[in-house]
Amino acid sequence: MDGLSSGSSLTPDQAVTLGLLNNPDFQAALGDLGISQADIVKAGELTNPSLGLLLPHNTSALEFTAKLPVEALWLRPRRIKAARLDADAVALKLTQGGVDLARDVKLACHAVELARTKRARAKESATIFQQISDLAGAQFRAGETGELEASQATADALVARQEELRLQYEYDLAMQHLRGLLGLSASKENITLKPLPSPRLKAPAPVSRLVEEALINRPDVRAAEMAVEAAAAKAKLAPAEMVALSAGLKTTEGAGTQASFDATLPVLNQNQGGRAVANAQLEKAVRMLNAARNHAATEVRRAHLQVKAAQNVMAGWTRIMPELDNSLKLAMRSVELGNSPQLATLDSARRVADARSKYAESEAKLRDAWAELDRAGGRVR
């Protein structure tokens, strides 16, 4: 596992690196690189010369012939160029696959952090509800509160403990999803995730600049551009493939050696099918390039809006949480002094528990939004 041992605690960047090295699906896709390189070798291959032998019979003399296809010599550089452009497009598509995988790993890390945070907050809430339940029980036994208040406090404490248990399962599921992306589902290695830093609060760059950068930097857009170049090269090559030329030598016993040339006459077939296919592929490549650019711009604009919205939501909860925490402290203090009913404290505790969960979710959504914006711009960070 690239120097990692059982019990290692990963940062998101380390998790991304491990995913790129170990994810089975991504590693399988890398096989396309070898295939594209083999296509370059194949494009550079020359047709083997043909040899002929005419055995002497009656009045015929012994005759040798050797022919070499000539058109392959001048078509070869153009075929290699087209194959290399195809290989470059494949490499860029795989790069985009790596960017997508990095995004998926980061989202999985965010899900683990969210589940872990909600579990910790649920544990804190369960402790608070248990304290309220204990206080309500003591007050009920002392005749200071009714049975209803005590029963509700006990029920809320039990619900809080059950929620803590549920969130433990949620954490385990999120961690298993992360392990799958890292290629560790079948491994016995115990991997944990280090606590994540707070999400970025700095406003994103202007969307117009991000769109411009994405159209330049995104691997899938560049792959589509390479595909257009490769299709254009093949479209130019197709007309030249309608003529086949070969040069040869003919040696006859007693008559010496003679040079010969053979050429196919493009009378019945001018490679119309091959030319039509090449032109159609070029047209399709151009349309796919336009689609790739449109997708890139759309994804950047959408992710940009998601970041801004998530920042606003998190800013709101940042202002709300201190007030709710203070309200709960005041409510519990008031109940202890006998100035407020028990139900008021339970209501405050429920609001705080719900707010803490939503605050953790707002952090996770902001992290997710930044990950989507990074991916939309073709960045791995």
pLDDT tens digits along 268-304: 788 888 889 989 999 999 999 999 999 999 999 999 9
pLDDT of residue 127: 81
Token digits for 54? 């005419």
Checking if the pLDDT of 56 tops 60, the result is yes
Q: Which residues contact 180 (CB under 8 A, 6 or more apart)?
A: none
Q: Mind listing the pLDDT tens digit for each residue in 71-119?
A: 777 788 888 888 999 999 999 999 999 999 999 999 999 999 999 988 8
Q: Are 129 and 349 in contact (CB under 8 A)?
A: yes
Q: What's the pLDDT score for residue 237?
A: 84
pLDDT at 291: 96
Instruction: Please state, in angstroms and as integers, the Cα–Cα distance from residue 200 to each residue in 175, 211, 306, 311, following that order.
Output: 23, 20, 13, 9
Q: Which residue has the higher pLDDT, 162 or 138?
A: 162
| Token digits of residue 378 | 């073709």
For the chain, what is the mean pLDDT?
85
pLDDT of residue 336: 66
Amino acid found at 128: I
8 Å CB contact between 105 and 380: no
Measured CA distances, 296 to 98, 102, 133, 219, 329 (Å): 16, 17, 54, 10, 49
Confidence of residue 27 (pLDDT cuts 50, 70, 90): very high
Whether the predicted pLDDT of 379 surpasses 80? yes
Which of the four pLDDT bands, split at 50, 70 and 90, describes residue 182? very high
Better-predicted residue by pLDDT, 132 or 37: 37
Q: What is the pLDDT of residues 252-272, one digit of tens each?
A: 766 677 777 777 777 778 888
Residue 337 has a pLDDT of: 65
Mean per-residue pLDDT for 231-250?
Answer: 81
Confidence (pLDDT) at 369: 95
pLDDT of residue 143: 75
Answer yes or no: is pLDDT of 5 > 70.
Answer: no
Q: How much is the pLDDT for 300?
A: 96
